[in-house]
Amino acid sequence: MKINVKKVIINVILKTILGMLALVILIPIIWLIFSAFKEEADIISWPPTFFPKEFVFSNWEGVKSKIDIIQYTVNSMIYALGTSIPAVFLNALAGYAFSRFNFKFKNVIFIGYLATLMIPFQVIMVPLYLEIHALGWLNSYAALIVPKIASASWIFLCRAAFDGLPKELEEAARIDGCSEIRIFSNIMLPLIKPTCITIFILTVNGCWNDMLWPMLVANSSSMRTLANGLAILIGTHTTEYGSSFMGALFSMLPMLILYIFGQKYFIEGQAHSGIKG
Amino acid sequence: MQLKRMTSYWNKPEHVAYLFIAPTGILLFVFCIIPLVASFFLSTMKVGVNLGLGEFIGLDNYVKAFTDRRFIDSLRVTIKFSVIETFLQMVIGIAVSAFIANNSFFNRMVRSIYFLPVITSAVTVGIMWQMILHPSIGLFTYWMEKIGLNNVALLNNPDTALYTLMGISIWRNFGISAIILVAAIQNVPKDYYEAAELDGAGKIKQFFAITLPEIKSSIWYLLISRVIGSLQVFDIVYTLTNGGPNNSTRTTVFYIYGEAFSKNNNMGYASAMSEILFGMIMIVIIVLQHIERKTSD
């Protein structure tokens, strides 16, 4: 009996600590959400409030009058979807080849792919920028999208997923006279759907929140993405906090919804994809 | 006829494989390998945005870097950030993961909360924390005042700004570490614990004798990727402190960014500094992997 009481007490203390840690994570996010609906006077009042005195939507008008948020959102969507859809298909294609085919120099080539994982983006950003500049791609969607499609870590993830499938599947299709690309796209790719969703979701999230690359190559007023457009909003209008909060909330909302419905894939992908700043 | 022969040649598994790997192969070559090689050449040049006007200056950029007070300071800031942030995050990640590894309702709930900041962009983090820590209207400032600490201005004080950035970075990332470690802990065979239970080993002893050694490879993996990530810290510096106050948070990548893109387009010099950072990252990886191999014998 004595041991049980001790156990219960320890458990309660532990749960309290873990719960408090969860609050530390949550409070800033919830506070941001509430603050987006506060009046400016409410925001700058002292003592600061957690809940809005009254819910107002005027901050949305504030955002719209300062930056072209609709255009930036469209740009972010094009960047996110334009990157993630080909990323799923092309990385899976390579992962499939490394998993199912035997060809000359396979291992050497695969190690070459993996070696690219060791190259930190921040280290090559200067020559990459100059390359985009030389190609004449500055301030185009291609500049944002094309360099971000291929990823050795996704190829690696797809290869592992295909490794788990039985060999007989494509043998049967091959005997039926299916072309290799059809075997891939119609039979094999659908079988690793969870992996595809993981890649899709994490690529969308990565592009949506990416600030540095759009800042370098898509900085004209009509090409900005939401993340770097907001950076400009806080840079130039530091005195009006309400619209900054609303802008931040607006940019966070799609990812929040994605997280609520696709949490499993976020976690799955994060456990496998390596090196992020 | 010709066409048919060609399609049947390229439909053979050993040939079609090259077509399948070609798109990503070309992309990685053009946007990863070429920039890496180009970076070496750029680092030996005095060059701006227009490559045609560049001139070869040998190792001058490297000499300049090692005598540049600001660059050396940025390395010091970066290393300090990297060491402390990584260490604290690993400790918190390991400790937390040990307690939330069971799939109970409570644990699954806190896990998804700890992981939540993964959806925040650097800009959102910037707005959020700048306001919470705001010296005159911030929520945190107010709470500190309530417990008797006046004039707290964490981000505006050169002595505390870097540590504050570390804290925010941990806030944003420790959930990822915890989740990865939870996955590793769940893979430890259950009978190890049952055997230890029979021997009368307590939970704490079990953690150090079984769990920790069993998840060692995940810990190493996390350690290495966190060090690499934190050595490149840029975006939260940009959105939270802009390198200030008093350059106390000017990290290496932030300094490189400034040299290359915001002032004088010093592309050659920026590349040389990038190479030095790259070299440092490589050395850290090699040393850590060496230690890992040594200790696993």
Q: Tokens 């949490």 — which residue?
A: A263
Contact call for residues A32 and B124 (beta carbons, < 8 A): yes
- The secondary structure of residue A118, as a DSSP letter, is G
Exposed, middle or buried by CB within 10 Å (0-12, 13-18, 19+), for B283?
exposed
Measured distance CA(A31)–CA(A70) in Å, rounded? 25
Record: contact A127-B20, CB cut-off 8 A:
no
Nearest CB among B14, B99, B117 relative to A103 is that of: B14
ipTM of this predicted structure: 0.90
Q: Which of A 56-85 lie inside 8 A of B, CB atoms? A: none
Q: Which two tokens stand for residue A141?
A: 């969607």
| Chain A residues with CB-CB distance to B9 below 8 A | none
The secondary structure element, H or E, covering residue A56 is none
Measured distance CA(A80)–CA(A84) in Å, rounded? 6
Q: Give the CA distances from residue A50 to residues B129, B130, B131, in Å, rounded to whole numbers and listed in that order.
A: 14, 16, 12
| Chain B residues with CB-CB distance to A209 below 8 A | 119-122
Chain segment A1-18, per-residue pLDDT in tens: 556 888 889 889 999 999
DSSP letters along chain B, please? Answer: -HHHHHHHHHTSHHHHHHHHHHHHHHHHIIIIIHHHHHHHHHTTEE--S-GGG-EE-TTHHHHHHHH-HHHHHHHHHHHHHHHHHHHHHHHHHHHHHHHS-S--HHHHHHHHHHHGGGG--HHHHHHHHHHHT-TTT-HHHHHHHHTT--S--GGG-TTTHHHHHHHHHHHHHHHHHHHHHHHHHHTS-HHHHHHHHHTT--HHHHIIIIIHHHTHHHHHHHHHHHHHHHHT--HHHHHHTTT-STTTT--HHHHHHIIIIISS--HHHHHHHHHHHHHHHHHHHHHHHHHHHHHH-
The secondary structure element, H or E, covering residue A18 is helix A2-35
Please give chain B's pLDDT, 297 residues, in tens: 577 787 888 888 888 999 999 999 999 999 999 999 999 999 999 888 877 778 888 899 999 999 999 999 999 999 999 999 999 999 999 999 999 988 899 999 999 999 999 899 999 999 899 989 988 888 888 888 888 887 778 888 899 999 999 999 999 999 889 988 998 898 888 888 888 888 888 888 888 888 988 898 889 988 988 998 999 999 999 999 988 888 999 999 999 999 998 777 889 999 999 999 999 999 999 999 999 888 876
DSSP letters along A82-115, please? Answer: HHHHHHHHHHHHHHHHHHH---TTHHHHHHHHHH
Measured distance CA(B51)–CA(A132) in Å, rounded? 12
Q: Give the angle subtended at the CA of A151 by the CAs of A149 and A152, to the nearest 5°.
A: 160
Best of B20, B61, B289 to mutate (most A CBs within 10 Å, chain A) = B20
What chain B residue is nearest to A267 in terms of C-alpha separation?
Answer: B179
Q: Enter the pTM of the model.
A: 0.91
When computed from its CA atoms, the radius of gyration of chain A, rounded to whole angstroms, is 24
Record: contact A26-B15, CB cut-off 8 A:
no
| Chain B residues with CB-CB distance to A47 below 8 A | 142
Measured distance CA(A92)–CA(A88) in Å, rounded? 6
Measured distance CA(B226)–CA(B223) in Å, rounded? 5
Chain segment A36-85, per-residue pLDDT in tens: 999 888 888 888 888 888 888 888 988 888 888 999 999 999 999 999 99
